[in-house]
Every structure is written in C-alpha cells, then in structure tokens.
Amino acid sequence: MSEYEARQDATGVSGWVTGGYAFAIVMLVIIGVFQAIAGLVAIIEDDFYVVGQNYTFNFDTSGWGWIHLLLGLLLILVGYFLYTGAVWAVVFAIVLAGLSAIANFFFIPYYPFWSILLIALDVWVIWALTRPGVAARA
C-alpha cells in the first residue's frame, strides 16, 4: 500500500480533501456571520460607513446593509447544508461565495481592508469546494 493510499478514507477521498472541505464549511459560515454583522451595522448606523464622492457605484448604505445581511444569512444556511452532506449545497455555496466576493468588491470604498479580506476568503472557499473529490465527500 502506497503512502497516498494510506491517506485515503473508506470513500477513496484523501485526508487533504476532507480537511479542506471541513475548513471551507467553517470559513463559509464565518464569512456569513461577518457579512450579516456588516449588514446590520449598515442598517442600524447609516453613518458608520463613509465613501468618497467620486465613487461610480455609490449606493445607499442601508441598501448595502440589506444585501450583506441577506447574503450572510444565506451563507450560514448553505454552510449548514454542506455540513449535513447535501450535494446540491456545494454548487449553491460556490455561487454564493462568488456573489459575496462581487458584493465585497463593490463595498471596497466603504470598508476597504475588510472587503478585500472577505474577497480573499471567498476565493479560497471557492477553490476548496472545487477540488477533486469534494463531491464524493459531500
């Protein structure tokens, strides 16, 4: 038995895939919580986020708040379904992580460092969920 075969579980999926899948689920839920908190802040305290006057996509912060809150709740929900092993949730999680990255791209002028950090985490989650063997793990 080779070293690679020894690192596979009963389904034939390596430990790296299983660990990456579990970490992606945890990160997806954490990203969802972060999104929901950022959304609540924007809804409750309109003046918390400040943007310069020359931003092309200058939307109302309350509108952004609702977008982030709903996206965050959906991310938490799909993270739960990933944990339960729903195969459809993998595709839904990839789509939601992509939407989260896009929403945070447009949110960069309001909260730059935080938005870039969440974009990076979203991209990592997408990468982790598209690894070979993830569908067999789910």
pTM of the predicted structure, to 2 decimals? 0.81
Range 87-107 burial, b when 16+ CB lie within 10 A, else e: eebbebbbebbeebbebbeeb
Specify burial of residue 81 (Cβ count, 10 A radius: 0-12, 13-18, 19+): middle
Q: What is the full per-residue pLDDT of the chain (138 aa) written as tens digits?
A: 445 444 454 555 566 667 888 888 999 999 999 999 999 998 888 777 776 666 666 677 788 889 999 999 999 999 999 989 888 899 999 999 999 999 999 888 878 898 999 999 999 999 988 887 665 555
- The full set of domain ranges for the chain reads 37-137
Distance, CA of 32 to CA of 97 (rounded, Å): 9
